[in-house]
Amino acid sequence: MTDISVTAAQDDGKLLRNARVRWLTERFGRFCVAFLFIDAARYHVSPHGWVATLGDMQARGVPVPEVALIVAMIASTLLALALLFGIRERWAALGLALYTASVSCVMYNPFAGLGYGALVLFLKDVCIFGALLTLSQSLQGAPWPRRG
């Protein structure tokens, strides 16, 4: 019987260079990220989610919250689907990063005194923002060329 740790150490990264493994991990990663945004949009369409989100947006002073919520749901869903199906993947990841940053600043502004729960949600969105920026550089179709 082969020791797994020895096999992994001797592998020296060959597994991750395997084209099938890279393809599967990239697709699964994109699915996980896209699911986050698609599921959030599904929640916002539900009657409870719609009312709760509109109430939060009105409390934060968002102008025309109904229109803003519809635009946000459409944008996040289309960008998530583009990321999932590989349509301009880097642009989709950058669009989702911009979406995440803007929604986070409006809804969970840590300087507005909204409490610890809002701070946790803001920091979660900062992490998602960073992951999307990293993802935008690892996918095909770069919006700008890499240097060095």
Q: How far is CA 78 from the centre of its chain?
A: 12
Question: pLDDT grade, residue 4 (50/70/90)?
Answer: low
Task: Give the residue with greater pLDDT, 30 vs 147.
Answer: 30
For residues 60 and 48, the answer to whether their CB atoms sit within 8 Å is no
pTM metric for this prediction = 0.76
Kindly state the average pLDDT of the residues 23-37.
Answer: 89
pLDDT at 146: 52
Overall average pLDDT of the 49-65 stretch? 90
* Residue 43: pLDDT band with limits 50, 70, 90: very high
Tell me the DSSP string of 80-115.
HHHHHHTSSHHHHHHHHHHHHHHHHHHHS-TTTT--
| Tokens describing residue 99 | 């979406």
Q: Could you tell me the two tokens for 28?
A: 């699964």
Domain residues of the chain, as ranges?
A: 17-138
